[in-house]
Structure 1
Amino acid sequence: MPVRAAAGAQASDLQDEKGETVICRGVEAHTSGPMIQVEQEAPDFRAVNAKMEEVSLSDFKGKKVILNIFPSLDTPTCALSVRQFNARAAGLKSTVVLCLSMDLPFAQSRFCSTEGLDNVIPLSVFRSHDFATHYGLRLADGPLEGLMARAVIVVDENGKVNYTQLVENISHEPDYKAALKAAQ
């Protein structure tokens, strides 16, 4: 059953031009557009892996996909979310976790290698305007303008979104339990 997390901004919270509202370093910030909604078809996007190869969401068709989206691995909460998904999603059948940020692929790869994280796939969207546009998660203003808001999206085997959470305060962790439940 599709679920939208209560912890995130709801459709009624949308700003006209600036999308969703989040708290970033103690101040209100806005995303570039409304976040994708449950039951929508997940738009395909391109991202770059550590080998500088393009990877698309469509490459994972037939699997459940958890999109762990965050501003940068150089922040404690972002790094923690990657570690948590690496540990918690390891046992899920036919499920892949894509960790998406604007970090360069080299930095993502170094982080995951150093940490021994091999149950997640780090992908950079630093040159992928399609992701930021279609998912509405690029920060349009505030201290981290240009990076992405913290969010989790679960896409089912058929490419439909069945869970979303826009984390209201970027310094907080996502609801791992709810996301993993949606991926079961």
Structure 2
Amino acid sequence: MANVTFKGNPITLLGNEVKVGDVAPEFTVLANDLSPVTVEDLKGNVTVISVIPSIDTGVCDAQTRRFNEEAAQLAGVRIVTISVDLPFAQKRWCGAAGIDNVQTLSDHRELSFGKAFGVAIEELRLLTRSVFVLDTDGKVVYTEYVPEATDHPNYEAAILAAKALV
């Protein structure tokens, strides 16, 4: 399992680490309208999954804005941001921030995504910062478990992995 810290302190990640070549595991999260979204719903598109602890923090805000900018230039690539923030808070934040190219999804109910992808932080009931790229069939082609959850991911590597598929 990935060794990850949060503000320099070791954390326990629940679930199994997802590796390149794996089929994306099953999960159910909620869209802003409270409708369920599963891994099956992501198939058919190259998908970048940007995972953040909370939309209302500086690095998470910057990460979501960065992927929103990238999404505007990536034809054929879907970008979703997943956190445990409530769907209502995600919708409010996106409206205030002018985010319209990234879909925010909430894992607040069961940590289904967090446990399936090995990113649920046991001590904080948040998700650790990570990025996954899935091909159109739901196969994992890129993973990054950011070693320090308060640091930025490698945006360029994730975008290159997605671009290579379209």
Could you tell me the TM-score, scaled by structure 1's length?
A: 0.84
CA distance in 1, matches of 2:39, 2:15: 20
CA distance in 2, matches of 1:163, 1:61: 16
Q: What's the offset of the Cα at 1:129?
A: 3.7
Which residue among 93, 105, 124 is the counterpart of 2:87?
Answer: 105
Partners of 2:27 and 2:38 within 8 A in 1: yes
Aligned residues: 163
Q: Structure 1: which 4+ aligned runs deviate by more than 2 Å?
A: none
CA distance in 2, matches of 1:50, 1:99: 12
Which residue among 152, 158, 161 is the counterpart of 1:182?
Answer: 161
Could you tell me the TM-score, scaled by structure 2's length?
A: 0.93
Match of residue 10 from structure 1: none
Partners of 2:50 and 2:131 within 8 A in 1: yes
CA distance in 1, matches of 2:161, 2:37: 23
Does the residue aligned with 1:111 lie in a helix, a strand or coil?
helix
CA-based RMSD of the aligned residues comes to 1.2
User: Quick one: percent identity of the two aligned structures?
Assistant: 35
Structure 1 spans left out of the alignment, 5+ residues: 1-13, 15-19
Match of residue 138 from structure 2: 159
CA distance in 2, matches of 1:127, 1:79: 22
Pick closer, same or farther for the CA change 1:46–1:156 going to 2, 3 Å. same
Q: What's the offset of the Cα at 1:33?
A: 3.3
Match of residue 72 from structure 2: 90
Partners of 1:36 and 1:136 within 8 A in 2: yes
